[in-house]
Amino acid sequence: MKTYISHFFFFFLVLGCSSGGPKKPNNLIPISTMIQIQTDLSIMEVIEKTYQGEVVSDSILGLPYIYSKYKIDSLRWANSEAYYAGNPKQNVQIFTAVRKALDRKIDSINKAIQNPLNQE
């Protein structure tokens, strides 16, 4: 997950330093959906790294799954990602929300481990 985020921030830094930045695409993916997509991608990356060789990322995980789940195509994804990468305030907002969402998921998993249903 750290690798994915560091690559994304590097991409964001390169685009952020260029003048003008990308124009807002007509079919921009809303911030709320980008948060969900980035959260899913972060989880998928962890699964791929944890279970290397056991999970076929192209068939079960990865961008094809994201395109299907969120009903987007690769061009819309690329344009939206480039737009948000060129807008630092919105990009920080997205990744702050992703971090919070991942923290909530970790907390709920930890609670489930500590309090199993069959414990009485």
Angle at 18 between CA 15 and CA 21, to 5 degrees: 70
Tell me if 10 is assigned to some domain.
no
Global pTM reads: 0.74
Looking at the 3D structure of the chain, how many domains does it have? 1
Tell me if 7 is assigned to some domain.
no
pLDDT in tens, 4-41: 566 555 565 655 555 566 789 999 999 999 999 999 99
Q: Which domain holds residue 45?
A: 27-107
DSSP character for 116? -
pLDDT in tens, 33-86: 999 999 999 998 888 888 777 766 556 667 888 999 999 999 999 999 999 999
Tell me if 39 is assigned to some domain.
yes
Tell me if 90 is assigned to some domain.
yes
Amino acid letter for position 99: R
